Amino acid sequence: MLSSKELLKYTNNLSLLFVEDHSELRSSAGEILKNFFKSVECASDGKEAYALYSAKDRCTYDIVLSDLRMPKVDGIELTKRIYEINPKQPIIILSAHDDSKYLLPLINLGVEQFIKKPLDYQELLEALLAVSKKIQQQKEQMPQVNGLKIQLSKTFHYDREERSLYNKEEIIYLTKYEIILLQLLTQKIGKIYSNEEIVEEYASLDESIDSQNIRKLVSKLRKKLPQNSLESIYGVGYRVRPYS
Protein backbone atom coordinates (compact mmCIF):
# COMPACT_ATOMS: atom_id res chain seq x y z
CA MET A 1 0.00 0.00 0.00
CA LEU A 2 1.22 3.47 -0.90
CA SER A 3 2.46 5.45 2.09
CA SER A 4 1.62 9.12 2.61
CA LYS A 5 5.29 9.87 3.18
CA GLU A 6 6.26 8.48 -0.22
CA LEU A 7 3.59 10.51 -2.01
CA LEU A 8 4.41 13.72 -0.13
CA LYS A 9 8.02 13.40 -1.25
CA TYR A 10 6.88 14.19 -4.79
CA THR A 11 3.72 16.25 -4.32
CA ASN A 12 4.35 18.68 -1.47
CA ASN A 13 5.66 21.39 -3.83
CA LEU A 14 3.10 20.80 -6.59
CA SER A 15 -0.24 22.45 -7.34
CA LEU A 16 -3.39 20.74 -8.55
CA LEU A 17 -6.65 21.75 -10.21
CA PHE A 18 -9.47 19.34 -9.29
CA VAL A 19 -12.60 19.39 -11.47
CA GLU A 20 -15.67 17.45 -10.31
CA ASP A 21 -19.36 18.31 -10.66
CA HIS A 22 -20.52 16.05 -7.81
CA SER A 23 -20.37 18.36 -4.79
CA GLU A 24 -19.87 15.71 -2.09
CA LEU A 25 -17.06 13.98 -3.98
CA ARG A 26 -15.48 17.31 -4.83
CA SER A 27 -15.52 18.29 -1.16
CA SER A 28 -14.31 14.97 0.30
CA ALA A 29 -11.64 14.28 -2.32
CA GLY A 30 -10.55 17.91 -2.27
CA GLU A 31 -9.87 17.76 1.46
CA ILE A 32 -7.79 14.60 1.03
CA LEU A 33 -5.80 16.10 -1.83
CA LYS A 34 -5.01 19.20 0.22
CA ASN A 35 -3.05 16.97 2.60
CA PHE A 36 -0.57 16.14 -0.16
CA PHE A 37 -0.27 19.14 -2.47
CA LYS A 38 1.10 22.59 -1.91
CA SER A 39 -2.12 24.04 -3.30
CA VAL A 40 -5.42 22.60 -4.54
CA GLU A 41 -8.14 24.54 -6.35
CA CYS A 42 -11.53 22.98 -7.08
CA ALA A 43 -13.98 23.63 -9.90
CA SER A 44 -17.56 22.36 -10.28
CA ASP A 45 -17.47 21.95 -14.06
CA GLY A 46 -15.27 22.37 -17.11
CA LYS A 47 -16.33 25.95 -17.72
CA GLU A 48 -15.28 27.04 -14.25
CA ALA A 49 -12.09 25.00 -14.52
CA TYR A 50 -11.11 26.64 -17.79
CA ALA A 51 -11.75 30.08 -16.30
CA LEU A 52 -9.35 29.23 -13.49
CA TYR A 53 -6.80 27.69 -15.83
CA SER A 54 -6.86 30.65 -18.19
CA ALA A 55 -6.57 33.24 -15.43
CA LYS A 56 -3.24 34.99 -14.88
CA ASP A 57 -1.93 32.26 -12.52
CA ARG A 58 -2.94 29.33 -14.76
CA CYS A 59 0.63 28.21 -15.39
CA THR A 60 0.98 27.29 -11.71
CA TYR A 61 -1.07 24.08 -12.03
CA ASP A 62 1.29 21.13 -12.15
CA ILE A 63 -1.53 18.58 -12.47
CA VAL A 64 -5.15 18.75 -13.64
CA LEU A 65 -7.48 16.07 -12.22
CA SER A 66 -10.84 16.16 -13.99
CA ASP A 67 -14.10 14.26 -14.21
CA LEU A 68 -15.13 13.20 -17.71
CA ARG A 69 -18.88 13.83 -17.76
CA MET A 70 -19.74 17.35 -16.59
CA PRO A 71 -22.29 20.04 -17.48
CA LYS A 72 -21.44 23.09 -19.61
CA VAL A 73 -17.95 21.87 -20.62
CA ASP A 74 -17.08 18.17 -20.31
CA GLY A 75 -13.68 16.58 -19.70
CA ILE A 76 -12.93 16.08 -23.39
CA GLU A 77 -13.57 19.70 -24.32
CA LEU A 78 -11.72 20.93 -21.23
CA THR A 79 -8.70 18.81 -22.17
CA LYS A 80 -8.73 20.23 -25.71
CA ARG A 81 -8.83 23.79 -24.42
CA ILE A 82 -6.06 23.20 -21.88
CA TYR A 83 -3.82 21.60 -24.50
CA GLU A 84 -4.28 24.67 -26.69
CA ILE A 85 -2.62 26.65 -23.90
CA ASN A 86 -0.15 24.02 -22.70
CA PRO A 87 0.23 20.83 -24.79
CA LYS A 88 2.41 19.29 -22.07
CA GLN A 89 -0.03 19.76 -19.19
CA PRO A 90 -0.30 16.51 -17.14
CA ILE A 91 -3.99 15.57 -16.98
CA ILE A 92 -5.69 12.72 -15.10
CA ILE A 93 -9.26 11.87 -16.06
CA LEU A 94 -11.90 10.36 -13.76
CA SER A 95 -14.40 8.21 -15.68
CA ALA A 96 -17.26 5.82 -14.88
CA HIS A 97 -17.19 2.19 -15.99
CA ASP A 98 -19.59 2.92 -18.85
CA ASP A 99 -17.52 5.82 -20.20
CA SER A 100 -15.12 3.66 -22.22
CA LYS A 101 -16.40 4.91 -25.57
CA TYR A 102 -15.48 8.46 -24.55
CA LEU A 103 -11.90 7.62 -23.63
CA LEU A 104 -10.53 7.13 -27.15
CA PRO A 105 -10.72 10.86 -28.00
CA LEU A 106 -8.82 11.60 -24.80
CA ILE A 107 -6.18 8.98 -25.60
CA ASN A 108 -5.79 10.54 -29.03
CA LEU A 109 -5.35 13.93 -27.38
CA GLY A 110 -2.51 12.52 -25.30
CA VAL A 111 -4.08 11.85 -21.88
CA GLU A 112 -2.32 8.83 -20.38
CA GLN A 113 -3.86 8.47 -16.92
CA PHE A 114 -7.46 7.38 -16.28
CA ILE A 115 -9.07 6.57 -12.93
CA LYS A 116 -12.33 4.63 -12.75
CA LYS A 117 -15.32 5.78 -10.75
CA PRO A 118 -16.60 5.04 -8.15
CA LEU A 119 -13.34 6.44 -6.91
CA ASP A 120 -10.77 4.15 -5.32
CA TYR A 121 -8.52 6.50 -3.33
CA GLN A 122 -5.59 4.09 -3.34
CA GLU A 123 -5.73 3.93 -7.13
CA LEU A 124 -6.03 7.71 -7.32
CA LEU A 125 -3.03 8.30 -5.06
CA GLU A 126 -0.93 5.80 -7.02
CA ALA A 127 -1.79 7.61 -10.26
CA LEU A 128 -0.88 10.95 -8.68
CA LEU A 129 2.41 9.47 -7.50
CA ALA A 130 3.26 8.24 -11.01
CA VAL A 131 2.49 11.62 -12.58
CA SER A 132 4.30 13.53 -9.82
CA LYS A 133 7.41 11.38 -10.25
CA LYS A 134 7.37 12.11 -13.97
CA ILE A 135 7.08 15.85 -13.29
CA GLN A 136 10.01 15.66 -10.86
CA GLN A 137 12.15 13.80 -13.40
CA GLN A 138 11.37 16.40 -16.05
CA LYS A 139 12.31 19.22 -13.68
CA GLU A 140 15.61 17.53 -12.88
CA GLN A 141 16.36 17.25 -16.59
CA MET A 142 15.60 20.92 -17.26
CA PRO A 143 18.68 23.04 -17.95
CA GLN A 144 20.06 24.89 -14.96
CA VAL A 145 20.52 28.40 -16.26
CA ASN A 146 22.44 30.28 -13.57
CA GLY A 147 25.67 31.41 -15.21
CA LEU A 148 25.16 29.06 -18.17
CA LYS A 149 24.69 29.49 -21.88
CA ILE A 150 21.18 28.83 -23.18
CA GLN A 151 21.37 27.16 -26.57
CA LEU A 152 18.63 28.52 -28.83
CA SER A 153 19.66 26.87 -32.10
CA LYS A 154 22.72 25.15 -33.57
CA THR A 155 24.47 28.50 -33.82
CA PHE A 156 22.61 30.82 -31.44
CA HIS A 157 23.04 30.97 -27.69
CA TYR A 158 22.26 33.44 -24.93
CA ASP A 159 24.81 33.92 -22.15
CA ARG A 160 22.98 34.92 -18.97
CA GLU A 161 26.16 35.83 -17.15
CA GLU A 162 27.32 38.16 -19.90
CA ARG A 163 23.76 39.17 -20.83
CA SER A 164 24.74 38.70 -24.45
CA LEU A 165 23.23 36.98 -27.48
CA TYR A 166 25.56 35.20 -29.89
CA ASN A 167 25.26 33.74 -33.37
CA LYS A 168 28.40 31.59 -33.49
CA GLU A 169 31.02 34.09 -32.31
CA GLU A 170 29.16 37.19 -33.43
CA ILE A 171 27.41 39.27 -30.77
CA ILE A 172 23.86 40.27 -31.66
CA TYR A 173 23.05 43.75 -30.38
CA LEU A 174 20.30 43.84 -27.76
CA THR A 175 18.62 46.88 -26.27
CA LYS A 176 18.35 47.34 -22.51
CA TYR A 177 14.68 46.31 -22.54
CA GLU A 178 15.40 43.23 -24.66
CA ILE A 179 18.09 42.11 -22.23
CA ILE A 180 15.73 42.51 -19.26
CA LEU A 181 13.12 40.38 -21.04
CA LEU A 182 15.59 37.64 -21.99
CA GLN A 183 17.02 37.55 -18.47
CA LEU A 184 13.52 37.01 -17.10
CA LEU A 185 12.42 34.40 -19.67
CA THR A 186 15.59 32.36 -19.16
CA GLN A 187 15.37 32.29 -15.36
CA LYS A 188 13.36 29.09 -15.63
CA ILE A 189 13.41 27.43 -19.02
CA GLY A 190 9.96 26.32 -20.17
CA LYS A 191 8.05 28.51 -17.69
CA ILE A 192 5.40 30.73 -19.23
CA TYR A 193 5.75 34.31 -17.98
CA SER A 194 2.56 36.36 -17.99
CA ASN A 195 2.30 40.04 -18.90
CA GLU A 196 1.78 40.79 -15.22
CA GLU A 197 5.04 39.05 -14.27
CA ILE A 198 6.91 40.88 -17.01
CA VAL A 199 5.52 44.26 -15.92
CA GLU A 200 6.51 43.48 -12.31
CA GLU A 201 10.05 42.55 -13.39
CA TYR A 202 10.55 45.87 -15.18
CA ALA A 203 9.04 47.76 -12.25
CA SER A 204 11.49 46.06 -9.87
CA LEU A 205 14.27 47.53 -12.02
CA ASP A 206 12.66 50.99 -12.02
CA GLU A 207 11.61 50.60 -15.64
CA SER A 208 8.12 50.90 -17.08
CA ILE A 209 6.36 48.76 -19.68
CA ASP A 210 2.73 47.91 -20.47
CA SER A 211 1.04 45.02 -22.28
CA GLN A 212 0.99 46.76 -25.65
CA ASN A 213 4.67 47.58 -25.47
CA ILE A 214 5.47 44.03 -24.37
CA ARG A 215 3.98 42.76 -27.65
CA LYS A 216 6.04 45.29 -29.61
CA LEU A 217 9.18 44.34 -27.68
CA VAL A 218 8.63 40.63 -28.29
CA SER A 219 8.07 41.28 -32.01
CA LYS A 220 11.36 43.16 -32.30
CA LEU A 221 13.28 40.62 -30.22
CA ARG A 222 11.99 37.73 -32.33
CA LYS A 223 13.69 39.24 -35.38
CA LYS A 224 17.04 38.81 -33.59
CA LEU A 225 16.41 35.29 -32.30
CA PRO A 226 16.25 31.97 -34.17
CA GLN A 227 12.80 30.91 -35.34
CA ASN A 228 10.46 29.43 -32.69
CA SER A 229 12.84 30.11 -29.80
CA LEU A 230 10.57 32.78 -28.31
CA GLU A 231 7.03 31.43 -28.04
CA SER A 232 3.81 33.37 -27.47
CA ILE A 233 1.02 31.42 -25.79
CA TYR A 234 -2.18 33.21 -26.76
CA GLY A 235 -3.84 34.82 -23.77
CA VAL A 236 -1.22 33.37 -21.42
CA GLY A 237 2.26 34.82 -21.87
CA TYR A 238 5.70 34.09 -23.27
CA ARG A 239 8.46 31.54 -22.86
CA VAL A 240 11.86 30.62 -24.27
CA ARG A 241 12.20 27.23 -25.94
CA PRO A 242 15.81 25.96 -25.86
CA TYR A 243 17.36 24.05 -28.74
CA SER A 244 17.34 20.28 -28.34
156 in the same domain as 135: no
* Domain membership of residue 43 as a residue range: 4-141
Cβ pair 93, 117 in contact under 8 A: no
153 in the same domain as 137: no
Average pLDDT over residues 199-206: 93
38 in the same domain as 100: yes
43 in the same domain as 124: yes
Q: Give the strand pairing for 39-43 and 15-19.
A: parallel
- Give pLDDT tens digits for 16-59: 999 999 999 999 999 999 999 988 999 999 999 999 998 744 45
- Give pLDDT tens digits for 169-182: 899 999 999 999 99
Q: What's the confidence (pLDDT) of residue 161?
A: 86
Q: What's the confidence (pLDDT) of residue 48?
A: 94
156 in the same domain as 122: no
Q: With CA atoms as reference, report the closest residue to 58 among 208, 196, 151, 171.
A: 196
Instruction: Provide the β-strand partners of residue 82.
Output: none
170 in the same domain as 117: no
Domain final residue, candidates 77, 112, 141? 141
- Give pLDDT tens digits for 92-139: 999 886 666 777 778 878 787 888 888 888 899 999 999 999 888 776
**CATH at 118:** 3.40.50.2300
Average pLDDT over residues 84-88: 83
User: For the chain, how big is the Rg over CA atoms in Å?
Assistant: 20
Q: Based on the number of CB atoms within 10 Å of its own CB, is 166 exposed (0-12), middle (13-18) or buried (19 or more)?
A: middle
Instruction: Report whether the peptide linkage leading into residue 118 is cis, meaning its omega lies within 30 degrees of zero.
Output: yes
- Give pLDDT tens digits for 56-83: 444 568 999 999 999 889 989 999 999 8
Domain final residue, candidates 141, 159, 193? 141
Q: What's the confidence (pLDDT) of residue 144?
A: 47
Domain final residue, candidates 78, 107, 141? 141
Distance of CA 20 to the CA centre of its chain: 21
* Number of domains within the chain: 2
**CATH at 197:** 1.10.10.10
